[in-house]
Every structure is written in C-alpha cells, then in structure tokens.
Chains A and B, each alone.
Chain A
C-alpha cells in the first residue's frame, strides 16, 4: 500500500531501476523492493503487483536470471541476477535516460523565469 509522499514507479522506468539494482548484487524480489525504497529515501514505491510481473518479463527477455537459494529467514527464495544481455540493455537505457533528463532540465532552465 502506498504511503503519503510515495510515487509509483512508471512501467518503463521500473525495468531500468531494477536492472540498476541487480547490476550491483544478486537479490530476491523483496530485497529489490526494499532497496528501491531505501535508495530513493522511501520516495519510490515498487508495487508488488507490478514488480513481480516486471521480474518475470525481464527473465523471459533474457535480461536477468533467477535461481532458488536460501533466504535470510532460512526459506527457499528466488534470487535474481543480471545477465550480459541485461547489462547491454542497461547501458542503452542509461544513455536514453541521460539524454531525457538533460532535455527536461534544459526545458526547465529555459522557462525558469516564466513561473
């Protein structure tokens, strides 16, 4: 459930953020959600109904792998890790994201006095 001030992660952005998180370490779904909230200082919220389909889809696309491992609570959990194809995709998405942010920043800067 969403708390005050939290924003849902947009569809296309979710793939990108999850890949960024998995590029650092192998994690299970719950940790990915926690990590996302932690890194964004609880501003971003990955809804469970969106996160797990996203992980499943990315695995089907070959960007991530999953394997069963032992979790911190001694339970079987599915751990996800990034594949070389996933890293390549991440690099492409990073470039796109950078130019998008640059363009938006330029527009904001150019209209600063219009407020």
Chain B
C-alpha cells in the first residue's frame, strides 16, 4: 500500500517541479525582453494557459489523479472488501461513544456510514474511469444502500426486543448491552459479506448473476495450479475468473448479438 502511495506521488512531484521550472524560465524570457516582474509573470501565465489545467492534464496522462489513487488502493488490498468499513466503523464507534450519550443512535448508523463512505467513492471512481458498466455500479450502490437500511431496521428491532436504554448504566447491565452490540456487529459483517459476494459474482455489464461455474486447478492449492473457478454471463458479456487471491473480469462484446446480426444467413 505504501509502495502504491509512493508510486502515485512520484509522477505528481515530478510534474509539479517541471511545470514550476517551465513557468520560471518563461517568465525570465519576458523579463529579458524588458517587461517588469508582474507583467512577465502575467505573460508567462497567459502563454502557459492555466497551469492548473496543464497539471491536471499531466496527472490524468500519468494516472496520478486522486481517483487513480482510490482505484489503485482498492485493488491493492489483500483482505476482503467488506472488512475495511467494518474496522473503520468500529473505530469510529468507540470514538463517538466517548462523547455522545445516545448510544442507540450512534451504533445504528456508524458502521453503515463507514461502509457508504468507503465504498461509494470507489464505485464512483471506477465508474468515471469506465472500468465497469454504469448498470453494475448502480446495482452495487443501490444494494449497499438497501443493506444499510436493512441493517438499521435490524438494530431498531434489537433495541425494541431487548429494550436497550440510551446508555448501559441507566438500568441495563453492561453484559446485555455488549451482547447486543456484538450481535449487531456480527449481523453487519454478514450483511456486508453477502453484499460483497453477491456483487462480485455478477456481470460487470448487465449485473446479472454469473452462471455455469467451471472449476479447474487442484482444490486446496493456493500457488501452483491454484483452484480457479470461472463463470460466465449468459448474455455473453464476459467471464469472471476467481482464485484464492483475486478475481479478474474478462469482458467481451455481446456474442449473441454477433450471432443474430441482421443480414447473417
């Protein structure tokens, strides 16, 4: 992750350094022509166009925009995708509990706020890079929102059943209180995992579930001839190959469309 961060900042630093030097030399050229410093700077800026625009263009060409960092980091992670929001959510939960008296409210949204904050920007970044079809991203975001609503409904139900007061000292034992939170957190983990597995197993174009799984490699083997499972979209949009370490999507044009093209005898 740190290596990725260094690789991201390297080109940015270089571009910035070069553009600054470029502007400086241009300014000096105008100074040599007899302009005063302010006029020289203005002329150099006008000649360069907007420096900000050049910088943004350079970052885009070198894949060094914040969006690229986000996509890169999400691809670098080794743990499952749903784990990050859970860990972040729990951390922020403990932080908030130090200050907010209404624990029921804090607990109910924290995990889901973390999940939405972590995952929606990644979906948006990937969508703007056209890595997947917008339908797939829309599906991911909608189901995540659905899971958040379901999770909160579950929490409300838990509170209602166990009659949890705002804070454990107000007539409720700490054990019951902790048990309640643990059940809720486990539920959140499960929901996020279901969301993540369901989303991974869908076509990146039409968001339909992938079918016809085909297993290859040795089961239990992780490195050499690793167990690999590939499944396809029945609409012919592509194939997903998954092993223990990663999953890769190979998109192809719609081959049924190809077959039923008008004019084909």
Answer whether residue B56 sits at the interface, using C-beta atoms and an 8 A cutoff.
yes
Chain A residues near B26 (CB-CB < 8 A): 30
Chain B residues near A77 (CB-CB < 8 A): 21
The answer to whether A57 and B62 touch across the interface, beta carbons within 8 angstroms, is yes
The answer to whether B58 and A49 touch across the interface, beta carbons within 8 angstroms, is yes
Which residue of chain B has its CB nearest to the CB of A48? Answer: B54
Chain A residues near B54 (CB-CB < 8 A): 47-49
In angstroms, Cα B28 to Cα A71, docked, is 12
Partner-binding segment picked from B11-19, B204-212, B234-242, B256-264: B11-19
The answer to whether A78 and B48 touch across the interface, beta carbons within 8 angstroms, is no
Chain B residues near A4 (CB-CB < 8 A): none
Contacts A1-B46, A1-B49 given; does A52 touch B58 at CB 8 Å = yes
The answer to whether A53 and B21 touch across the interface, beta carbons within 8 angstroms, is no
The answer to whether B22 and A53 touch across the interface, beta carbons within 8 angstroms, is no
In angstroms, Cα B53 to Cα A1, docked, is 11
The answer to whether B21 and A75 touch across the interface, beta carbons within 8 angstroms, is yes
8 Å CB interface, A18-32 against B: 28-30
Answer whether residue A100 sits at the interface, using C-beta atoms and an 8 A cutoff.
no
How many of B's residues come within 8 Å of A, CB to CB? 24
Most chain B CB within 10 A, of A49, A54, A73, A78, is at A49
Chain B residues near A55 (CB-CB < 8 A): 18
Answer whether residue B173 sits at the interface, using C-beta atoms and an 8 A cutoff.
no
The answer to whether A49 and B53 touch across the interface, beta carbons within 8 angstroms, is yes
Among A29, A57, A71, which residue has its beta carbon within 8 angstroms of that of B18? Answer: A29
Chain B residues near A47 (CB-CB < 8 A): 54, 57
The answer to whether A30 and B15 touch across the interface, beta carbons within 8 angstroms, is no
The answer to whether A75 and B24 touch across the interface, beta carbons within 8 angstroms, is yes
Answer whether residue A56 sits at the interface, using C-beta atoms and an 8 A cutoff.
yes
In angstroms, Cα B60 to Cα A50, docked, is 10
8 Å CB interface, B49-71 against A: 49, 53-58, 61-62
In angstroms, Cα B19 to Cα A73, docked, is 16
In angstroms, Cα B46 to Cα A29, docked, is 19
Among B22, B49, B56, B61, which residue has its beta carbon within 8 angstroms of that of A29? Answer: B22
A-B contact pairs, 13 of them (CB 8 A): A1-B46, A30-B25, A47-B54, A48-B18, A48-B19, A48-B48, A48-B58, A50-B58, A52-B14, A53-B15, A55-B18, A56-B14, A75-B21
Chain B residues within CB distance 8 Å of chain A: 11, 14-15, 17-19, 21-22, 24-26, 28, 46-49, 53-58, 61-62
What 10 pairs across the A-B complex have the smallest Cβ distances? A49-B57, A53-B61, A49-B54, A1-B49, A48-B54, A52-B18, A49-B58, A30-B25, A53-B62, A53-B58
